[in-house]
Amino acid sequence: MAAALSDSIPSVNKAWVYSEYGQSADVLKFDPNVAVPEIKEDQVLIKVVAASLNPIDFKRMLGYFKEIDSPPPTVPGYDVAGVVVKVGSQVTKFKVGDEVYGDLNENALVNPKKFGSLAEYTASEERVLALKPQNLSFVEAASLPLALETAYEGLERTEFSAGKSILVLGGAGGVGTHVIQLAKHVFGASKVAATASTKKLDLLRSLGADLAIDYTKDNFEDLPEKFDVVYDAVGQSDRAVKAVKENGKVVTIFGSVTPPALTFVLTSTGTILEKLKPYLESGKVKPVLDPTSPYPFSKTIEAFAYLETSRATGKVVVHPIP
């Protein structure tokens, strides 16, 4: 038996759906009559309050990894923040009424969910969710999971630790803004350098960067200083490997991988969000929202169009839903 606010849960809901691969402007359609997903024993049903968009959403929509994707029709959206309205019989962490957030797809690339967060309701395994920090709005919480978890896992994979130096490529993006904060305020970096365009350098400094590098004027690989770790959040591992110390580590999350750089596919888990909750509650790690956010549900295509320019600062979030 599943506990639920069953009286208030409709059988259909509004959602954005694509039925074929292609550009978001061409294939993403609003559908007011999509069936509300049934939950499995280890899942909860969430009334979605906010959802954030990630580059993987439009890359998936373009069919970049269709060989391992779950086939369309697809409701996109990895990141969610909302309220639990129904729980499966094996769920132990959450109850109806809990405010939760998370990245819905445990494996980002292999058979991700056909029903994501760009809908009024979505289903999620409890293990990828965490309770929303009370000091964060739903919009702020929705901006975090995939980017924050990617930032954290990348630092873990480079064995980053207190006293080490790091260079972050793409410091003003969704992942980069969190790498800076985590490296400085959670891992205890001795020095954090990061790249961005001219107008975003003050943001880097405000997040904890000791050295803000204007990539429109300076080549980071020409710096006399080398770093223990380079976190490449833009897809420039061929240049990143020139900025790392001998025996240092380079991690990249986009594009081709130039040895000795390493890459990874995020495993989404609520455990990371729980681990970082004290830092979120204290304000040491802050959500970073693009100034254009949030986009209303009706403007989801415009939100994708903006994200696809690669000019977003921090995260693009859709709210309210619907």
Burial string for 108-125 (b: 16+ CB within 10 Å, else e) reads: beeebbebbbbbbbbbbb
Q: Average pLDDT of 118-123?
A: 98
pLDDT at 6 over 80: no
Are both 49 and 81 inside the same structural domain? yes
Q: Average pLDDT of 144-149?
A: 98
Are both 119 and 221 inside the same structural domain? no
Q: What percent of the chain stands above pLDDT 70?
A: 98
Determine the Cα–Cα distance for residues 102 and 133; give it in Å rounded to an integer.
12
Are both 252 and 314 inside the same structural domain? no
pLDDT for 4: 59
pLDDT at 3 over 90: no
The whole-chain average pLDDT of the chain stands at 96
The pLDDT tens digits of the residues spanning 37-90 come to: 999 999 999 999 999 999 999 999 999 999 999 999 999 999 999 999 999 999
Are both 300 and 220 inside the same structural domain? no
In a domain, 4, yes or no: no
pLDDT for 8: 86
Q: Average pLDDT of 289-301?
A: 98
Strands 12-18 and 28-35, how do they pair? antiparallel
Are both 200 and 306 inside the same structural domain? no
Count CB neighbours of 93 within 10 A.
16
Weakest-pLDDT range from 8-12, 230-234, 313-317: 8-12
pLDDT at 322 over 90: no
Q: Give the CATH number, domain containing residue 98.
A: 3.90.180.10
pLDDT for 1: 44
Per-residue CA distances from 206 to 61, 165, 171, 233 (Å): 34, 18, 11, 19
DSSP string across 37-52? PPP-TTEEEEEEEEEE
pLDDT for 164: 98
What's the pTM? Answer: 0.97
Single out the residue in 245, 263, 281 at which a domain terminates. Answer: 263
In a domain, 138, yes or no: no
Structure tokens at 256: 């081709």
Weakest-pLDDT range from 4-18, 54-68, 141-155: 4-18
Q: How many domains is the chain built from?
A: 2
DSSP string across 128-171? GEEEPPTTS-HHHHHTSHHHHHHHHHHHHHTT--TT-EEEEETT
Alpha helices in the chain (DSSP H): 24-27, 55-61, 138-142, 145-157, 176-181, 201-207, 237-240, 270-282, 300-307
In a domain, 273, yes or no: no
The residues that bridge with 18 in the sheet, in sequence order, are 28, 74
